[in-house]
Amino acid sequence: MAKKEGLGWIEWARGWGSIVGEFLFQRIVASHVDNPLPIPPMDGATCIVTGATSGIGLEIARQLAESGAHVVMAVRRPKSAHDLIQKWQSEKGDMGILLNIEVMELDLLSLESVVKFAEAFNALQAPLHALINNAGIFSIGEPQRISKDGYEEHMQVNHLAPTLLSMLLIPSLLRGSPSRIINVSSVMHFVGFVDSEDMNMTSGKTKYSSMLAYSNSKLAQIKFSSMLHKRIPPEANISVVCVNPGIVHTNVARDLPKVIVAGYHLIPYFIFSAQEGSRSSLFAASDPQVPEYCQVLKGDEWPTCALINYDCRPTNASEEAHNLETTRQVWDKTLELIGLPGDALEKLISGEEVACQYQTQNASVDN
Ligand SMILES: NC(=O)c1ccc[n+]([C@@H]2O[C@H](COP(=O)([O-])OP(=O)(O)OC[C@H]3O[C@@H](n4cnc5c(N)ncnc54)[C@H](OP(=O)(O)O)[C@@H]3O)[C@@H](O)[C@H]2O)c1
Q: Quick one: pLDDT at residue 258? A: 65
Positions marked active-site: 214
Alpha carbons 245 and 322: distance in angstroms, whole number: 20
**From the CB of 161, is ligand 1 less than 6 Å away?**
no
Q: Which of 27, 53, 54 to mutate to test the pocket of ligand 1 (most atoms within 8 A of CB)?
A: 54
Question: Cβ(191)–Cβ(4) under 8 Å?
Answer: yes
Question: Cβ(302)–Cβ(83) under 8 Å?
Answer: no
Q: Quick one: pLDDT at residue 2? A: 44
Q: Which helix (H) or strand (E) holds 14?
A: helix 9-29
Q: Where are the domains of the chain?
A: 9-349
Q: Which of 112, 248, 275 to mutate to test the pocket of ligand 1 (most atoms within 8 A of CB)?
A: 248
- The CA 156 to ligand 1 mean position distance, Å, reads 13
Q: Quick one: pLDDT at residue 256? A: 66
**From the CB of 150, is ligand 1 less than 6 Å away?**
no
Please list the pLDDT of the chain residue by residue as tens digits (367 residues): 444 557 889 999 999 999 999 999 999 999 999 999 999 999 999 999 999 999 999 999 999 999 999 999 999 999 999 999 999 999 987 787 899 999 999 999 999 999 999 999 999 999 999 999 999 999 988 999 999 999 999 999 999 999 999 999 999 999 999 999 999 999 999 999 999 999 999 999 889 999 999 999 999 999 999 999 999 999 999 999 999 999 999 987 666 666 566 666 667 778 999 999 999 999 999 999 999 999 888 877 766 899 999 999 999 999 999 999 999 999 999 999 999 999 999 999 999 999 999 888 777 776 5
Rg (CA), the chain: 19
**From the CB of 278, is ligand 1 less than 6 Å away?**
no
**From the CB of 53, is ligand 1 less than 6 Å away?**
yes
**By alpha-carbon position, which residue is closest to atom 7 of ligand 1?**
186
* SS3 (DSSP) at 103: strand
Over the range 149-170, which residues count as b (16 or more CB within 10 Å of their CB) and which as e?
bbbbbbbbbbbbbbbbbbbbbb
- In 3D space, the residue among 12, 23, 323, 331 whose CA is nearest the CA of residue 190 turns out to be 12
Superfamily of segment(s) 9-349: NAD(P)-binding Rossmann-like Domain (3.40.50.720)
